[in-house]
Amino acid sequence: MGYLDKRENQMRIKNVRKIMVKKNLDAILIYYDEFNIGNGWYLTGWCPQFESGAVLVPREGAPLILGGPESEPFAKLDSAINDTRNFPVFMVPNEEYPNATITDFKALFIELKSRLEKLHAIGLVGDVLAVNGNYTSKQNECIKHLKEAFFLTKEALVPGKTGREIDAPARAYFKRTGFSKYLVCPFVHTIGLHEAESPFFGPNSDDVLQPGMTVCVDISFFGHPEFNGARIETGYEISNKGIFPLSLKMDSRFTAD
């Protein structure tokens, strides 16, 4: 039995569609995974056990869950949205599911075009990358603030520094720019067995950054009246010879001018 009752689910979808009409969107894609369940949970009352996925809400017609075949039976049982499609991008790599129906985005678009009068503009929730490759001027301004705080924090990742020392530069920047009240969490945490685990190098932390640690620089703010909110994050290995990005691509994206 689903956690989210039908009436509440329909009201939430209706509210999402009001935003879609206002922004002239034909559909909206709402990403989720086991660590970032909030947006997907809002519409489904459900979160995946094994795989990432997305909720697709068209301007007209029933919404869909786009996910993987291992989570599909649970979605059909527990989610308020239980019409599902399985995509390789959301599946466990190299696992086989011979009884599942696997589709692709080409087939999905053919299906959607048969249901909608037009399919020109699709909104994306949960990702700070511009869908068309180009940010608006306001989005550029928002990303500029995030990247500046990211750069300051990365520069502070020096073995021997305490959490409060690492946290201070970006926090001072956000204070100068008026963003402090929109901060939810500190800027650095370690990673290992979990996506985020202690020590958390916050503004009152005396934990010391040490060689051999792996950490994420995690810059975000939420609730801003103009920019709303966003997050940029990627990981680094700490050593006596410097810090090494776990993803060269993400490091370049967040530190480039």
23, 49 contact by CB (below 8 A): no
Provide the pLDDT confidence category of residue 167 given band limits of 50, 70 and 90. very high
**Residue after which a domain boundary falls, among 80, 105, 125:** 125
240, 211 contact by CB (below 8 A): yes
Domain-embedded: residue 131:
no
Domain-embedded: residue 217:
yes
Domain-embedded: residue 81:
yes
pLDDT greater than 80 at residue 3: no
Provide the pLDDT confidence category of residue 42 given band limits of 50, 70 and 90. confident
Measured distance CA(3)–CA(43) in Å, rounded:
11
How does 184-202 read in b/e, with b if 16+ C-beta sit within 10 Å?
eebbbbbbeeeeeeebbbb
**Tens digits of residue pLDDT in 92-108:** 888 889 999 999 999 99
Q: Identify whether residues 100 and 41 lie together within a single domain.
A: yes
- CATH code for the domain of 114: 3.40.350.10
Domain-embedded: residue 1:
no
Task: State the maximum Cα–Cα separation within the chain, in Å, rounded to a whole number.
Answer: 60
113, 122 contact by CB (below 8 A): no
**Tens digits of residue pLDDT in 200-247:** 999 999 999 999 999 999 999 988 988 888 889 999 999 999 999 998
31, 125 contact by CB (below 8 A): yes
CA distances from 117 to 61, 111, 120, 128, 129 (A): 11, 12, 10, 28, 27
Q: Residue 70 gets which letter from DSSP?
A: T
Nearest to 211 by CA among 149, 257, 159, 141: 159
- Structural domain of 242: 137-255
- CATH code for the domain of 240: 3.90.230.10
